[in-house]
Amino acid sequence: MNSDNEPLFSAKNLKLLKEPLGSSNPITVQVLGICSALAVTVKLKPSIVMAISVMAVLAVSNVVISLLRKRIPPRIRIIVQLVVIATMVILVDEILKAFAYEISKQLSVFVGLIITNCIIMGRLEAFAMGNKPWPSLLDGLGNAAGYGLILIIVAFFRELLGSGTILDYQVIPNSFYEFGYVNNGLMILPPMALIVVGIIIWIQRSRNKDLVENR
Amino acid sequence: MSALRRFVDKIKPHFVKGGRFSMFQSTFEGFETFLFVPDTVTSGSVHIRDGNDMKRTMIMVVLALIPALLFGIWNTGYQHFLAVGQEAGFWQMVWFGFLKVLPIIIVSYVVGLGIEFTFAQIRGHEINEGFLVTGMLIPLVVPVDVPLWMVALATAFAVIIGKEVFGGTGMNILNPALTARAFLFFAYPGDMSGDKVWIEGLKNGEGIVDGFSGATLLGQAAQNQTTFLNGIGEPITPFQMFLGNIPGSIGETSTLAILLGAFLLIYTGVGSWKIILSVFAGGALMGWILNIFAVNEFMALPFWQHLILGGFAFGAVFMATDPVTAAQTERGKWIYGFLIGVLAILIRVLNPAYPEGVMLAILFMNVFSPLIDHYVIEANIRKRLKRAKVQAN
């Protein structure tokens, strides 16, 4: 793997891992994978499972495609990529069904729809097709982590404000409810996920001016 | 007056650049231009010069809202004393309503203006005047029993997410007051809909007359009731619906008071009569079509009664005419208003989950108004090009 004697965690490789968490985040900067971010973030637990699933799929497919990259005829590369992703997704789906049935039911079709998650196709096409397996693995892990990070932040606020719970433990004390506090029903509806993502983008861009497009 | 002017002039140096309080310059400017019409004149290629600036325009809308507000205050008291079965004089009702409505208005203004001032300081621009109207509209479109913290939250949401993220007054896509109402409606449906929230005191149920019902007329219509009843079971005549002593959001019940406001808006040219008229026309047409194909009592409700029920008139006069979010082209205004009317009645009658469709119809058309404008302008360009070609031949 390391024919040119580059250290495993060189600055360049670490950048692959770190950048998707911040300045090239797949959701907040590249605005990819939004539909699953809207759909699964009502509660924290399914979001964490979703994040882990995407990470598994993306990291492994990235490595597989990177290993095959010189063998794949360019004209059918998308089909090959999809076959790899689909295989991984089916594996993840089966594992979830076997070991976490309840959550798998909550996530329902969205596990299957990881196949169409633009982040995965995007990374395979943009990175794994032209890079070695080790950087591809890091890139896959980094992007999936960036995706998962946003998912978990959004789900945290939606579950806290929409249901008054964190990981299904009630955190807002009953005395609040007796005083007239009511859970925010809008937080449970998908539009609020979009608004929360929007607020994250707003905060990120006001801290990092490089991300603001010049008009 | 001149003493005030002298005072303002005296403290002014502290607030301009380099002064001690220069960080509060926008706040100072906001108050100064509120007190005195600024003498700055538009320069450049604008051809219409008018002494009427944004603050004066906004105040006109607030003035137009006053009849609806006063009626709402009285109606709050009237409905309450009807519910507890007490005799009460006119002023007693007004005083009761005043004490209930005033806190909502104060909360709405304090929260909204607080956020506006904060944003103006951070961004270093002038205070936006838009909230003068929004702050009065929000209390008028909520039920009187709404908890104050919900009003505060909805106002904050409307000002930040509905307006400031787009760049403040004049840049927003959605009407901020309706954004606040939509937020409340979807976030806290238990406090914004049903038949317990519209009359003060009904929710905790103390001292309420046995068998009293607080259902709004639209709520009753959704149950396919043929004749409308007030809380104690007396029938309500269409004239009463027009007058407005029926349960509903604070300012929306009285079509008469709203029409008074509408006359002021149209007379001063602040509100577009085209939009108001076309909303009513659209609503009447859709109501009439539903009458023809009526399969239940709600669909058979006479179409003109739709126009005086619920928030229809209020939405048409004060919400749809918002110059920022409405269509800008003259022909576009007709289309925009007409579609609001059609959609409002359509949602109201055919979607049982939303007993009042006016809010959703206006928000929906807010989103579409730039598109309407685009096609109106495109059509005009095409028309003129065609004419040019004919002449060339």
Q: For B245-289, give the DSSP string.
A: -SSSSTTTS-HHHHHHHHHHHHHHTSS-HHHHHHHHHHHHHHHHH
Question: What pLDDT is stored for residue B167 in this prediction?
Answer: 79
At A1, the pLDDT band (50, 70, 90 cuts) reads: very low
B263 within a domain of the structure (yes/no): no
Q: Could you tell me which residues of chain A have a Cβ less than 8 Å from any Cβ in chain B?
A: 180, 182, 184-187, 189, 195, 198-199, 202
On average, the pLDDT of chain A sits at 86
Clarify whether residues B80 and B195 are in a common domain: yes
Alpha helix locations (H) across B124-170? 131-140, 148-160
Beta bridge partners, A47, equal none
Residue A16 confidence (pLDDT): 83
- Min Cα–Cα distance to chain A from B165, Å: 8
Domain count, chain B: 2
Please check the confidence at residue A31 and state whether its pLDDT lies above 90: no
**Amino acid found at A194:** L
Q: What percent of chain A has pLDDT over 70?
A: 97
The Cα–Cα gap between B21 and B28 comes to 9
What is the model's pTM? Answer: 0.85
pLDDT of B223:
76
In a domain, residue B309? The reply is yes
| Shared domain check, B297 and B207 | no
Residue B3 covered by a domain? no
Query: For chain A, which residues make up each domain, given as ranges?
Result: 31-213
Residue B14 belongs to some domain of the structure: no
**Percent of chain B residues past pLDDT 70, beyond the cut:** 90
Do both B308 and B163 map to the same domain? no
Q: What is the pLDDT of residues A93-110, one digit of tens each?
A: 999 999 888 888 888 788
**What pLDDT does residue B302 have?**
86
Alpha carbon distance A207, A98 (integer Å): 43
pLDDT in the model for residue B309: 85
Distance from CA of A42 to the nearest CA of B (A): 14
pLDDT in tens, A73-95: 989 999 999 999 999 999 999 99
Using a CB-CB cut-off of 8 Å, the residues of chain A touching B186 are 185-186, 189
Q: Judge if B95 and B170 occupy the same domain.
A: yes
Q: Is residue B35 part of a domain?
A: no
What's the pLDDT tens digit per position in A112-144?
888 888 889 889 988 999 999 999 999 999 999
Residue B246 lies in a domain: no
Residues of chain B falling short of pLDDT 70: 1, 17-20, 22-26, 34-35, 37-52, 128, 205-206, 391-393
**Based on the domain organization, do B180 and B291 belong to the same domain?**
no
Instruction: Examine residue B105 and state whether it is found in any structural domain, yes or no.
Output: yes
Residue to test with chain A: of B184, B185, B188, B364, most A Cβ within 10 A: B188
The residue among A187, A182, A153 whose CA lies nearest residue B188 is: A182
> Could A182 and B188 be called an inter-chain contact, meaning their C-beta atoms sit closer than 8 Å?
yes
Question: How high is the mean pLDDT of chain B?
Answer: 85
b/e per residue, B259-288, with b = 16+ CB within 10 A? Answer: bbbbebbbeeebbbbbbbbbbbbbbbebbe
Q: Are the C-beta atoms of residues B172 and B166 closer than 8 Å to each other?
A: yes
Determine the structural domain holding residue B67 and report its residue range: 55-211
Amino acid letter for position A135? P
Cβ pair A182:B190 closer than 8 A: yes
Of A87-91, A177-181, A197-201, B327-331, least confident by mean pLDDT is A177-181
B289, part of any domain: yes
User: Cβ of B187 and A187 within 8 Å?
Assistant: yes
